[in-house]
Structure 1
Amino acid sequence: MKQKQTTLLAIIVTVVLILAGCGTTNEATTNSKLKVVTTFYPMYDFTKQVVGAKGEVSLLIEAGVEPHDYEPSAKDIATITEADVFVYNSAYFETWVPKVIENIDTTKTTVIDASKGITLKDFTAAEEAAHSHEHADEEAHDHEDGETHDHKAETDADKNPHVWLDPVLAQQQVKTIAEGIAQHDEKNATTYQENAETYQQKLAILDQQYTDAFAHVSQKTFVTSHAAFGYLANRYGIKQLPIAGLSPDAEPSPKEMAKIKTFVKANKINIIYFEALTSPKLAETLATETGAKTVELSPLEGLSEEQQASDLDYIKVMENNLTALQKSIK
């Protein structure tokens, strides 16, 4: 972990020096369309809906890349530095962002934390159990490398950042993004606000679809490979039981896996959910041992190029997620 931080700092220093030597200036707002850089897919889609035809919105983390594993390259940092606006979800998700924005000119590049104003939640008991094991793995790895790991300091800072999966909180993120962009480009502020309101209405319809679907259900628990759906579950009165923690690469201990297996059998849960960007191994193993089957449930952390080319977007994927969840929550 320390090695990653050192590498990132070295990249930032290099980029800053290169840009300073080139005398880079940002005249995009006056000479061309607004240039907006976003981190991963939901931020990209929300921002694109707000900006409309008034700017160019780009995606920093490429299609198919797991955002939890991403570290920015020198080219990525230069792209952020040269943008008019930079949009990210939260420092608890894009953990590399605080170090980057410390070293860019925020009078030139407007930085928007889309989760600003949203109270991020601590883990639920099930998430905490999976996450504790995840930290134990990290700690053991750091010790093998001869590095120290301040587990307490990291745990104190841990919050669940997956707010975009709650359609109501997604509306708040869209509002925050629109306000930040409007502040940067005041002459088009009305357009940004109108675009945001139009999209928020679509998100409100999505929220109503979820509300109606789960208004009267008896089996409320769904089992997923990744603890990403806490906000969504809390919003609609259902419960997620994650196999892993907030990082989809984490693995539960044998004891934790046995508890989940027992729960699945006792409650006759017939679906184990997996996600496309990470290995389905855990979900498949649990399904095989319990007689369940696997179904994809997208945390929307990234869409493949093929998915985007087929006109999938945030709302369509969330509608697909609703259909998938209704297979086990009845």
Structure 2
Amino acid sequence: MLLTILLAAGCGPQSQGKIVEGKVNVVTTFYPIYEFAKAIGGENANVINLLPAGVEPHDWTPRSQDIVNTSKAQLFFYNGAGLEGWVPQFLKGLNRDTKVKSYEVSRGIKLIEADEDEEHHDEGEGHKHQHHVDPHTWVSPKSAMIMVENMKNSFIEADPAHQEGYTSRYLELRKKLEDLDQEFSSKLDEMPRKEIVVSHEAFGYLARDYGLTQHAIMGLSPDAEPRARDLLQLSTLVKEEGIHFIFFEELVSDRLAKTLASETGAEVLVLNPVEGLTEEQLKRGDDYFSLMRNNLTNLILALQE
């Protein structure tokens, strides 16, 4: 009993949203989709985000209020590609009379198949990732462009009367993503180095789209423990390539990244997979674009000679 109370307390404020009559109510599974849905929906939409800040989308579970809200909503946006393993059950559990339309917003992105070999150490975990696809699509501005186009189309389908508003707000958002994409392309093209070492394999799409190679300490699931052999290989790589920086992400412990860094004389830097905002980032007014630009700054630092 005590445990449940503690767990409930530890989760902090979850989806604070309320259904608003007369607007398109959209439920999103986690932060980037929430930000994009708000940008496209504008005054015509009411967007409710399920995942609280600081929680890994891989291992979250919905509550009854989330089921109630989603049942009453018009749209449900989830990333897909295996990110939210709880979605199929969740959708089955919605009220019978629900009219909500659910959309996998990563549809149309050429998915990255993960290396099977990397994954065999978590066989006991009920295979969180069907087919071992990399689900971290949004981390590349190029993929994000496909996602926001899918969302725009879904909004117009749900509410054709406001097509003009959705289209113009989408075009504004798309322009921002194109600018970001341009910055990533031109800056990273100039960099002499192309190899990055990261704590969690979340940067596959970014690496693919901008000509980098990612070496991850851990696999796709951020809580998998790496094997000693993997750490040894990485350590050798870091030394041989003369890699100066090892990346870790804020929501996940940096213990391994720091261990590897201290063994190889490299330093640690943050690379943020933009899965959610911390309280601090919220207060600062950070968003997808500012966090991605911070990422670019750190990548440039790491990829210099």
Q: TM-score, normalised by structure 1?
A: 0.82
Taking the TM superposition and a 5 Å limit, the aligned residue runs for 1:1-330 are 31-104=21-94, 108-123=99-114, 125=115, 128-133=116-121, 135-136=122-123, 139=124, 157-330=131-304
Partners in 2 of 1:311 and 1:106 — Cα distance? 39
**Mapped contact 1:131–1:244 kept (Cα < 8 A):** no
**Matched residue count:** 286
Which residue identity is paired with 2:138?
Answer: W
Partners in 1 of 2:266 and 2:108 — Cα distance? 40
1:45–1:177 distance in 2 versus 1, CA, 3 Å = same
Give the superposition deviation at 1:119. 2.7
User: Any unmatched runs of 5+ in structure 1?
Assistant: 1-26, 143-148
Give the superposition deviation at 1:306. 2.3
Partners in 2 of 1:44 and 1:313 — Cα distance? 11
Deviations along 1:154-212, one digit per CA (max 9) or x if unpaired, are: 77622111111111110110010111111111111221111111100110000000101
1:155–1:181 distance in 2 versus 1, CA, 3 Å = closer
User: Could you tell me which residue of structure 2 aligns to residue 5 of structure 1?
Assistant: none
**Mapped contact 2:23–2:46 kept (Cα < 8 A):** yes
Deviations along 1:75-101, one digit per CA (max 9) or x if unpaired, are: 222222122211110050011112222
1:52–1:99 distance in 2 versus 1, CA, 3 Å = same
- After TM superposition, the structure 1 stretch with the greater mean CA deviation from structure 2, 32-41 or 293-302, is 32-41
**Mapped contact 1:91–1:97 kept (Cα < 8 A):** no
Deviations along 1:266-314, one digit per CA (max 9) or x if unpaired, are: 1111111111111111111111111111111100111113212211111
Give the superposition deviation at 1:131. 2.5
**Mapped contact 2:72–2:98 kept (Cα < 8 A):** no
Which residue identity is paired with 2:104?
Answer: D
Give the superposition deviation at 1:114. 0.5
SS in 1 for 2:215: strand
SS in 1 for 2:55: coil
1:164–1:198 distance in 2 versus 1, CA, 3 Å = same
User: Could you tell me which residue of structure 1 aligns to residue 12 of structure 2?
Assistant: none
**Mapped contact 2:271–2:298 kept (Cα < 8 A):** yes
Partners in 2 of 1:97 and 1:155 — Cα distance? 13
SS in 2 for 1:65: coil
Partners in 1 of 2:130 and 2:152 — Cα distance? 31
Deviations along 1:31-62, one digit per CA (max 9) or x if unpaired, are: 43222111111111111110112222121000
**Mapped contact 2:82–2:130 kept (Cα < 8 A):** no
Which residue identity is paired with 1:86?
Answer: F
Question: How well do the aligned residues superpose, as a CA RMSD in angstroms?
Answer: 2.0
Could you tell me the percent identity over the aligned residues?
39
SS in 2 for 1:92: coil
SS in 2 for 1:213: helix
Partners in 2 of 1:78 and 1:96 — Cα distance? 16
1:43–1:156 distance in 2 versus 1, CA, 3 Å = closer
Asked which structure has the greater RCO (Cα within 8 Å, sep 6+), the reply is 1
1:45–1:57 distance in 2 versus 1, CA, 3 Å = same
Give the superposition deviation at 1:216. 2.8
User: Could you tell me which residue of structure 2 aligns to residue 18 of structure 1?
Assistant: none
